[in-house]
């Protein structure tokens, strides 16, 4: 019984240490939120957040920038650093609350939730933006980035950065890579 009590106490402590984040309003804001492991469970914590995330994640801009981020070394350094931060535990435990389960159970019985899902997925403007995205240069640039010598130099610089090594070898210290919110 004692280990269970300690586990619950530790969970309560870590849950209060979660990063207080604001709900992003743009697709690029949501993308930045998803790359930060101290707050990327935000869409799952409330049905309203999920609808906002779904709207952002079904935009072509979201995926165009996501492809650009995949080749940027600084993005990977910050994401990996936030994955090993103490705030990540609070982020995960914030999902496992009775309030979250109750909010989702309530949403599953509410026809307005399904109407909001249908509105997001059936938006004719969104379908038009997707059809026009194939003509935008931003859709093709990520495929040419690996051949860019400047990108290769950024990877070399990032791999040799003392800040990355400090964050790697001492994950409990304040991170030099952390992005302030």
Distance between CA atoms of residues 29 and 170, nearest Å: 29
**134 φ, ψ (degrees, to nearest 5):** -70, -15
Reported as a single tens digit per residue, the pLDDT across 31-57 is: 999 988 888 999 999 999 999 999 999
Distance between CA atoms of residues 80 and 135, nearest Å: 33
> In this structure, what DSSP letter does residue 173 have?
S
**136 φ, ψ (degrees, to nearest 5):** -85, 135
The 8 Å CB, 24+ separation contacts for 126-134 are: 126/58, 126/59, 129/59, 129/60, 130/60, 132/60, 133/60, 133/64
Tokens in use for 9? 């106490």
Reported as a single tens digit per residue, the pLDDT across 110-165 is: 999 999 999 999 999 999 999 999 898 888 888 888 888 898 888 888 888 887 77
Give me the chain's average pLDDT, please.
82
Residue 177 has pLDDT above 70, yes or no: no
Tokens in use for 151? 């990108």
Q: What's residue 59's pLDDT? A: 94
Confidence of residue 19 (pLDDT cuts 50, 70, 90): very low
């Amino acid at each position: 019984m004692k280990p269970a009590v300690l586990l619950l106490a530790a969970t309560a402590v870590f849950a209060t240490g979660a990063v207080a984040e604001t709900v992003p309003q743009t697709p690029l804001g949501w993308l930045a939120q998803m790359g930060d492991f101290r707050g990327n469970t935000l869409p799952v914590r409330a049905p309203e957040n999920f609808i906002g995330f779904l709207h952002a994640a079904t935009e072509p801009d979201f995926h165009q920038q996501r492809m650009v981020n995949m080749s940027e070394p600084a993005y990977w350094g910050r994401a990996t650093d936030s994955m090993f931060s103490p705030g990540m535990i609070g982020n995960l435990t914030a999902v496992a609350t009775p309030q979250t389960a109750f909010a989702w159970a309530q949403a599953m019985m509410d026809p307005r939730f399904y109407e909001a899902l249908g509105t997001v997925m059936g938006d004719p403007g969104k379908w038009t933006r997707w059809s026009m995205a194939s003509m935008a240069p931003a859709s093709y640039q990520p495929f040419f980035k690996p051949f860019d010598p400047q990108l290769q130099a950024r990877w070399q610089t990032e791999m040799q950065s003392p800040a990355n090594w400090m964050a790697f070898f001492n994950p409990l210290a304040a991170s030099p890579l952390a992005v302030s919110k």
